[in-house]
Amino acid sequence: MIRLLLDQGLPRSTVRHLAERGIDACHVADIGSSHAADHEIIELAQGQSQVIVTLDSDFHRLMAVSGASAPSVIRVRQEGLRGADMAALIQQILTRVGDQLADGALVTVVEGRVRLHRLPLGTVVSGSGRRSS
């Protein structure tokens, strides 16, 4: 089962809405890490076998530079979503690419389109399922 760590900027109520859907999630603010640096959040997620969900592009950059194969990161490029809407979007992402997230991936979501990069970086899979390098 995939466990999620929601970054600052995401509504804290998203955790409750995800729990109602049977998805294990926590918010950095709920565990005293709301002011943690991005690399500290990566270490925390890695240690807890969690997938990071964020609005912040820095996580993808840090994972690319590190060459690490975990943790997976979902970057949502859509601000202003309320908790229930964010939870619904996250559930759709997990349904669509959950297996790849379990194996290590960077996912970017823009207006319903999903772009996936397997970790460590190398192969790119577009929202249509086609692979390219």
Kindly compute the dihedral angle of the four CA atoms of residues 29, 63, 89, 81, in this order, to the nearest 10 degrees.
Answer: 50
| Parent domain of 102 | 3-132
> How many domains, in total, are found in the chain?
1
Quick: pLDDT tens for 93-122: 999 999 999 999 999 999 879 999 999 885
pLDDT in tens, 57-79: 999 999 988 889 999 999 999 88
Instruction: Give this prediction's pTM.
Output: 0.89
Q: How confident is the model at residue 133, as a pLDDT?
A: 43
Q: In CATH, what number is assigned to the domain containing residue 11?
A: 3.40.50
Q: Is the pLDDT of residue 128 over 50?
A: no
pLDDT: is 79 or 123 the higher one? 79
**Residue 115: Cβ within 10 Å count:** 16
